[in-house]
Every structure is written in structure tokens, then in C-alpha cells.
Amino acid sequence: MVKSPATEKAWEVLEEVKDPEIPVLSVVDMGIVRSIEATPEGLQVVITPTYSGCPAMEVIENEVRQALVDGGFGNVEVRSALHPAWTTDWMTESGKQKLLEYGISPPQHSTVDKSVLTGEAKHVVCPNCRSTNTRMQSQFGSTPCKALYVCNDCLEPFDYFKCI
């Protein structure tokens, strides 16, 4: 990606736009912002949905546009692209750390599609006591991207960010 002062500033602005469902993560941490390009017509931003049914996407699109306009960018075009499909591998390391501190167990490294069919991800970390002795309670949680887990050691129920 070509970096220019304008696009670098835009990335900085978007670091401050939080995911409405997970307010500790920015849309950049989430890997939702795919590219920012400065063109003579204005700034072109490409975002990608996490889950196709994620109701937060429209809010995110509006907030991204608003933040850039407020940040002094005149013409901003925000476009949504499906391809390549979003994966939890795009979440930044600092994003994963912030998630854990917030109380959501972050997704494991490297998405292996087959793991979805063969069994749950191993070593899901309890955000309360950091034990990996945890069990899945339900594959579906409070938002499309999360599953419900319980820690066998400290008995804390928690959200796990699913790998896709």
C-alpha cells in the first residue's frame, strides 16, 4: 500500500473510530478498514464486513465517513468490498491484547477452516485468570462474532472471539 501523508493521517483518524459492539477496538484493530487511497477526487476508503449479517456495519460505515470529514478530509467515499473475505487473522496484535484486557478471549492464530467442523479451537484463554482449561458453552454468543465459553478453573463465563 502506498503511504502518503494524507493516507497516514487518515489511518490515524480511523484508529479512533471504535467498533460499536466492542468499544475497546478500533475499526483498524479489527481489520475492517482494508485500504485508504488519496485520489484527486478525494479519499477512497475500502471496508469489509466481518459477518455478512453484522448489524454494526452500517453504523461503522457512517462513523468512518464522519470521522474523516471531521478530520478535515473533504470528499470521502467509503466502499464495502466482500473480497477477500474478512478473517480474524487480520486483527492486530495490539487489538488482541486489548480484547483480552477487556474480558473477551481473542481469536487464535491462523484460521483453519476445517477446525470449525472437526472441533472447537484449543487453548481458549480465560480473560479472568488466564487459564486455558476452558470449555465451550455455546458456539453463538452476544454478537455474530463471538462464542460463549466457561473457565473450568475460576468458573468465569466469558465471550470468545470466533476464528473465521
Using CB under 8 A as the criterion, what x/- string covers residues 37-76 for binding other proteins? ------------x-xxxxx---------------------
Q: Is 132 in the site for other proteins (CB under 8 A)?
A: no
Q: Is 142 in the site for other proteins (CB under 8 A)?
A: yes
Measured CA to CA, the distance from residue 90 to residue 120 in angstroms comes to 20
Would you say 50 and 66 are in contact if contact means Cβ atoms under 8 Å apart?
Answer: no
Q: Is 116 in the site for other proteins (CB under 8 A)?
A: yes
Cis check for the bond before 84: say yes or no (omega within 30 of 0). Answer: yes
Q: Which residues, numbered 145-164, are part of the site for other proteins (CB under 8 A)?
A: 148, 162, 164
Residue from 69, 137, 150, 156 touching other proteins (CB under 8 A): that is: 137
Residue (4 or 138) nearer to other proteins, CB? 138
Which long-range contacts (C-beta less than 8 Å, at least 24 apart) are formed by 102-105? 102/22, 102/24, 102/127, 103/127, 103/128, 103/158, 103/159, 104/22, 104/146, 104/158, 104/159, 104/160, 104/161, 105/134, 105/149, 105/158, 105/159, 105/160, 105/161
Least CB distance to other proteins at residue 4 (A): 28
Least CB distance to other proteins at residue 72 (A): 30
Least CB distance to other proteins at residue 164 (A): 4
Q: Is 138 in the site for other proteins (CB under 8 A)?
A: yes
Would you say 74 and 42 are in contact if contact means Cβ atoms under 8 Å apart?
Answer: yes
User: Which parts of this chain interact with other proteins (CB under 8 A)?
Assistant: 49, 51-55, 82-86, 113, 116-117, 137-142, 144, 148, 162, 164
